Amino acid sequence: MRIGLLGTIFLTGLCQTASASLVLTSPIAVTGTGLGTVATILTIQDTNTEIGCVGATSSQIGNTLTGPCTGSGADVKTGTSQIGPQPLTAAGVTSASNFAIVFNADQPSGGPITLTGLTATFYSSTGTLLYQTVGFSCPGLASSPTCTFPETFSGIGKSGFVFGLDTTQALAATTAGVFNPANGTVVGLSASLSGSSGGPETFSLGTVAGTTGGGGGGGSQTPEPESLVLAASGGMLLFAGKLLTRKSRQTQAVR
């Protein structure tokens, strides 16, 4: 019975991981994510809660992203280097495997913050919607699958947390032509947070280290960590199954 329950737990965790779209590649932060030094897509700021989005152009701002970005843009910052859909080439993104979104929080004394929403939208250079992600998760954090970061770093650019596409969404985005150079893809974004009380939070386009690409923004993270989680969970589930089979055979032998 215990072994069966163990297997169920691992299977549940496996399904939760596989269903996510944007996945925190690691709870470890990267540095050098300040405004003007990376390809910043979105900057938002408010007290307690904050929300904002940017669509296919810098003038498409608001709080609801369903293809276009609409609604109130009260929390969205529109200063120099604070906003704008970014072309994949701005960060050297060449494929789904090295695409990344870097989240930079600016909280007093490095305090906590909770990411409550994160969606990436991909448009062609002419503004045609190519693909939009659904869902996000933070494996590796104690709050997983929710995304509460217990510690951040004061000041813009001192720390960033890297999100990448999971296997399913990477395939879907690729099939939709997101990473076809002929489309000249640009990336828009929607994000929301709670527990905010400091400076502005920024989201930039980056790359996952260890794959092709470079340039503005990136992180020193191990590529495709989700596949490692899947492999580990699958291996443990298989092990639990073998133990259950062995126990069953032993019981039959005794009878």
Residue 235's pLDDT band, with cuts at 50, 70 and 90, is very low
Residue 67 lies in a domain: yes
Per the CB < 8 A criterion, the answer to whether 97 and 211 are in contact is yes
pLDDT average, residue stretch 58-77: 92
Residue 46 lies in a domain: yes
* Residue 25 vs residues 9, 112, 250: alpha-carbon distances, Å: 22, 19, 42
Distance CA 183, CA 177 (A): 7
pLDDT at 40 over 90: yes
Residue 42 lies in a domain: yes
Domain membership of residue 126 as a residue range = 21-223
Residue 249 lies in a domain: no
* Number of structural domains found in the chain: 1
Rg (CA), the chain: 20
Q: What is the pLDDT of residues 84-142, one digit of tens each?
A: 999 999 999 999 999 999 998 888 888 899 999 999 999 999 999 999 999 999 998 98
DSSP tag of 63 = S
pLDDT at 38 over 80: yes
Tokens of 232: 């580990």
> What pLDDT does 198 receive?
80
Mean pLDDT computed over every residue of the chain: 76
| Residue 54 falls in which region: left (phi positive, over 0), alpha (psi -120 to 50) or beta | beta
- Pairing type for strands 147-149 and 129-132 reads unpaired
Residue 242 lies in a domain: no
